Amino acid sequence: MLRLVHMENSGLVKMLLDDKFEDLGRMYNLFRRVPNGLSTIRDVMTSHIRDTGKQLVTDPEKSKNPVEFVESLLEKRDKYDKIISLAFSNDKTFQNALNSSFEYFINLNPRSPEYISLFVDDKLRKGLKGVKEEDIETILDKVMMLFRYLQEKDVFEKYYKQHLAKRLLSGKTVSDDAERSLIVKLKTECGYQFTSKLEGMFTDMKTSQDTMQGFYAAYGAELGNGRTLVVQVLTTGSWPTQSSITCNLPSEMSALCEKFRSYYLGTHTGRRLSWQTNMGTADLRATFGNGQKYELNVSTYQMCVLMLFNNADYLSYREIEQATEIPPSDLKRCLQSLACVKGKNVLRKEPMSKDIGEDDAFSVNDKFTSKLRKVKIGTVVAQKESEPEKQETRQRVEEDRKPQIEAAIVRIMKSRRVLDHNNIIAEVTKQLQSRFLANPGEIKKRIESLIERDFLERDNADRRLYRYLA
Amino acid sequence: MPRTSSRKGPTNSSASSNSSTVDLFRAASGRAASKELERIDQLFYSYSSDGSSMIDPEGIESLCSDLEVDHTDVRILMLAWKMQAEKQGYFTLDEWRRGLKALRADTILKLKKALVDLEKEVRRPSNFADFYAYAFRYCLTEEKQKSIDIESICLLLDLVLGSQFRAQVDALIQYLKIQSDYKVINMDQWMGFYRFCNEVKFPDLSNYDPDQAWTLILDNFVDWLKSKRG
């Protein structure tokens, strides 16, 4: 039997690879009549899927493009779904084997959560444009399926929040309904806690629209033509954490911003507002020396830099830094995006190098041309994180896990009063399973920390026991 | 003490017949006791600085030189334990009295001799755990402090366990200095070291059971030892 299964060119693996549904069906029907027949097929299939899956997720080429990465995962899933339904009569045990194999190899790549979120981001930003509603649902359900395999669901949540924030703030979502639908699916899967902050983000967007209406109703006449300022008020805590260093806004803007601030605080006492100048966008109407007119869509930082050139022809990096008070690393990236990118170089830099030096001189590129009237220079699109960013996110996730582990330990000990070491580890792991796989070493560390802070103590007689200290 | 009814001096007629001798004995021993106390106090004042009710580090140094014991010797720590001294480097009058009375030492000579017996007493298993825990607490200098830095812990380990568990202490000190997970050690971890030395076969570690809820630092120590062995 095994010989049949493992035959090099016509064995089970070949049949799986080539989608030989009929042959597979025959094999299934034959083998089910023999003891251990089906389990043999299942085991070979399982190890094949695990091996090929492992190859897929650890392949550096495939990992370069997150969207492609996820698409190949979905393809693989679809392939085996089809085989199981057409050839293996939808056998539940085969379904389970497929699921456990996927769970195994998806978690071999620590970037899977990030990539799945980026895949969703791509779909919700443009991929689902024009797609029928039912097809959208199908794709989202498939994404949910992959999500279920993730051991580190909290990592996914962190990235999802970041990407969602960018989508919402840049107004770049294809379908509001699709967004909501996915949130509902996540809520069904993981509970209210998982999605409450995400829902908070949507609420903030809606509330901000209402606030805007109120603002212009109150000041409309005074402000004259058109809405030049659109404000989104974000509740801290629902949105991904940001530093709140506010840069210097151009005078044309600051008066208007102040008006908004006093309007808002007038209707909402006891709140504090801080402008998140690293998250905004602006549309500028620019006339260049060559007579060309363009509408530039830029980030707030880029706007602050460009507006300086209304009053100066040449500015050094230092002068720009002083005037705008944009943090150096952000400012350098900002200037690079304005001066060093082909097709978007609205500024000229001397010297022409890519690196930004303290004494570099900037001026408007009067020779700037573009095929499009509206030129997009802002960089608010979600991207695969760079190595240092990834480390930072990973660190934040680890930090967030510590209090969750402690809370689980305290909950369990509070109800059990006395519990031995192995059981605590098992129960804590179980409680946290839906968010992440808790590391036994980390759990031990948290127990020791709780002992140090007199929440728990060791039993005097049996060292394996811990006691809850009321 | 045999009871007699012989009397000496005026007595209360309503008292029981043998009370007088007991009183006498009490009075006699009381006199002796108060003499001893006086000497203990005097000894204290000979080391305390003028005007303070404490023996300070300087005083302790001179005490040590009189005892012919180095001030870093473990026997001084044992003496502090006997006194239940609270603050490292200082002895109060009460602590001094407590310790020396228990040791029945009211002169330097007697104290010197008493240290020998004290060491035996402390090293008895029933006392040692208490002494070991005391050693840790004694090194906590700040009010809310709960941990001690690695370097001090290494010194303390050597002082307190070095003579008994040389191999384990050397290995542990080596590990503590190269690991970077922990910059300080708390009481729970400290007690764990003692249990480890007492219970785990060294150097084969054959009976080290990770399910026994050893502190993580000891798990890591054992992993390190095993990997060193290759």
Question: B188 vs A421: CB contact, 8 Å cut-off?
Answer: no
- Residues A169 and A292: their CA atoms lie apart, in Å, by 30
- Residues A1 and A31: their CA atoms lie apart, in Å, by 8
What pLDDT was estimated at residue A380? 55
Query: Once rounded to an integer, what is the mean pLDDT over residues A40-45?
Result: 88
Distance, in angstroms, between B203 CA and closest chain A CA?
22
Question: A458 vs B213: CB contact, 8 Å cut-off?
Answer: yes
What pLDDT was estimated at residue B9? 46
Q: Is the pLDDT of residue B128 over 90?
A: yes
Query: Once rounded to an integer, what is the mean pLDDT over residues A283-288?
Result: 90
Query: Quick check: helix, strand or coil at residue A362?
Result: strand
Distance, in angstroms, between B215 CA and closest chain A CA?
7
pLDDT tens track for A329-352: 888 888 988 988 888 889 999 888
Contact between B61 and B71 (Cβ < 8 Å)? yes
Among B189, B195, B213, select the one facing A421 at the smallest CB separation: B213
pLDDT tens track for A55-87: 999 988 888 899 999 999 999 999 999 999 998
Cis peptide bond prior to B203, omega within 30° of 0: yes
Question: A421 vs B215: CB contact, 8 Å cut-off?
Answer: no
Question: A441 vs B146: CB contact, 8 Å cut-off?
Answer: no
Task: Give the B window 154-213 contacts with A, CB below 8 Å.
Answer: 186-189, 195, 211-213
Question: A451 vs B195: CB contact, 8 Å cut-off?
Answer: no
Cβ–Cβ contact B109 with A under 8 A = no
Cβ–Cβ contact B147 with A under 8 A = yes
Among A421, A441, A451, select the one facing B188 at the smallest CB separation: A451
What pLDDT was estimated at residue A92? 92
Q: Is the pLDDT of residue B31 over 80?
A: no
Question: A463 vs B212: CB contact, 8 Å cut-off?
Answer: yes
The maximal CA–CA distance of chain B, rounded, in angstroms, is 87
Distance, in angstroms, between B136 CA and closest chain A CA?
14
The 3-class SS string of chain B reads CCCCCCCCCCCCCCCCCCHHHHHHHHHHHHHHHHHHHHHHHHHHHHHCCCCCCEECHHHHHHHHHHHCCCCCCHHHHHHHHHHCCCCCCCEEHHHHHHHHHHHCCCCHHHHHHHHHHHHHHHHCHHHHHHHHHHHHHHCCCCCCCCEEEHHHHHHHHHHHHCCCCHHHHHHHHHHHHHCCCCCEEEHHHHHHHHHHHHHCCCCCCCCCCHHHCCCHHHHHHHHHHHHHHC
What pLDDT was estimated at residue A193? 82
Contacts of A420 in chain B (CB under 8 A): 213
Q: Is the pLDDT of residue A9 over 60?
A: no
Among A421, A445, A452, select the one facing B211 at the smallest CB separation: A421
Going by C-beta distance under 8 Å and a sequence separation of 6 or more, which residues neighbour residue A93? Answer: A38, A42
Instruction: Give the pairing of strands A347-350 and A293-299.
Output: unpaired
Question: B215 vs A448: CB contact, 8 Å cut-off?
Answer: yes
Distance, in angstroms, between A307 CA and closest chain B CA?
50
Cα-Cα-Cα-Cα dihedral sign, residues B149, B152, B156, B162: positive
Confidence class for position A448, pLDDT limits 50, 70, 90: very high
Q: Is the pLDDT of residue A221 over 80?
A: no
Among B186, B195, B211, select the one facing A452 at the smallest CB separation: B186
Query: Once rounded to an integer, what is the mean pLDDT over residues A236-253?
Result: 83
Q: At what angle do helices A66-86 and A112-122 cross, to 10 degrees?
A: 90
Q: Which residue has the higher pLDDT, A317 or A173?
A: A317
Q: Is the pLDDT of residue A36 over 70?
A: yes
pLDDT tens track for B45-75: 889 887 778 999 999 999 999 999 998 899 9
Q: Does an H or E element contain A456, and which?
A: strand A456-458
What pLDDT was estimated at residue A226? 59
Q: Is the pLDDT of residue A201 over 90?
A: yes
Which of A168-172, A280-284, A451-455, B181-185 has the weakest average pLDDT? A168-172
What pLDDT was estimated at residue A434? 87
Query: Once rounded to an integer, what is the mean pLDDT over residues B86-108?
Result: 91
Nearest Cα to Cα of residue A44 among A71, A66, A63, A17: A17
Q: Is the pLDDT of residue B12 over 60?
A: no
Query: Once rounded to an integer, what is the mean pLDDT over residues B209-221?
Result: 89
Contacts of A454 in chain B (CB under 8 A): none
Distance, in angstroms, between B213 CA and closest chain A CA?
5
Q: Is the pLDDT of residue B21 over 80?
A: no
Question: A452 vs B213: CB contact, 8 Å cut-off?
Answer: no
pLDDT tens track for B155-166: 999 999 999 999
Confidence class for position A125, pLDDT limits 50, 70, 90: confident
Among A441, A445, A464, select the one facing B212 at the smallest CB separation: A464
- DSSP per residue over A105-157, as a string? HHTTSTTHHHHHHHHHHHIIIIITTT--HHHHHHHHHHHHHHHHH-S-HHHHH
Contacts of B212 in chain A (CB under 8 A): 421, 463-464
Query: DSSP label at A65?
Result: -
Question: B211 vs A422: CB contact, 8 Å cut-off?
Answer: yes
Question: A448 vs B189: CB contact, 8 Å cut-off?
Answer: yes
pLDDT tens track for A138-179: 899 999 999 999 999 999 999 999 899 988 888 878 888 889
Query: Once rounded to an integer, what is the mean pLDDT over residues B122-147?
Result: 92
Among B147, B212, B216, select the one facing A445 at the smallest CB separation: B216
Q: Which residue has the higher pLDDT, A227 or A21?
A: A21
To test the contact with chain B by mutation, choose from A398, A409, A450, A452 the residue with the greatest count of B C-beta atoms within 10 A, namely A452
The tokens for B219 are 């798990």
Q: What is the average pLDDT score of chain A?
A: 88
Which of A236-245, A431-440, B104-113, B139-148 has the weakest average pLDDT? A236-245
What pLDDT was estimated at residue A1? 61
What pLDDT was estimated at residue B4? 47
Distance, in angstroms, between B216 CA and closest chain A CA?
7
Task: Please work out, in degrees rounded to the nearest 5, the angle formed at the alpha carbon of residue A65 by the alpha carbons of A64 and A67.
Answer: 155
Going by C-beta distance under 8 Å and a sequence separation of 6 or more, which residues neighbour residue A449? Answer: A406
* Highest mean pLDDT (candidates A62-66, A189-193, A305-309, B36-40): A305-309
Confidence class for position B109, pLDDT limits 50, 70, 90: very high
pLDDT tens track for A11-30: 788 888 888 888 888 888 88
Query: Quick check: helix, strand or coil at residue A377?
Result: coil
Contacts of A451 in chain B (CB under 8 A): 186, 188
Distance, in angstroms, between A458 CA and closest chain B CA?
9
For chain A, the distance separating the N- and C-terminal CA atoms, rounded to the nearest angstrom, is 63
Question: B213 vs A448: CB contact, 8 Å cut-off?
Answer: no
Q: Is the pLDDT of residue B1 over 50?
A: no
Query: Once rounded to an integer, what is the mean pLDDT over residues A360-381?
Result: 85
Q: Is the pLDDT of residue B20 over 80?
A: no
Query: Once rounded to an integer, what is the mean pLDDT over residues A262-290?
Result: 89
Which of A26-35, A139-148, A300-309 has the weakest average pLDDT? A26-35
The tokens for B48 are 């305390």
Between chain A and chain B, how many beta carbons pairs sit less than 8 Å apart?
32
| Confidence check on the interface: ipTM exceeds 0.95, yes or no | no
- In chain A, whose CA is at the least distance from the CA of B217? A445
Query: Once rounded to an integer, what is the mean pLDDT over residues A408-432?
Result: 95
Share of chain A above pLDDT 70, in %: 96
Contacts of A459 in chain B (CB under 8 A): none
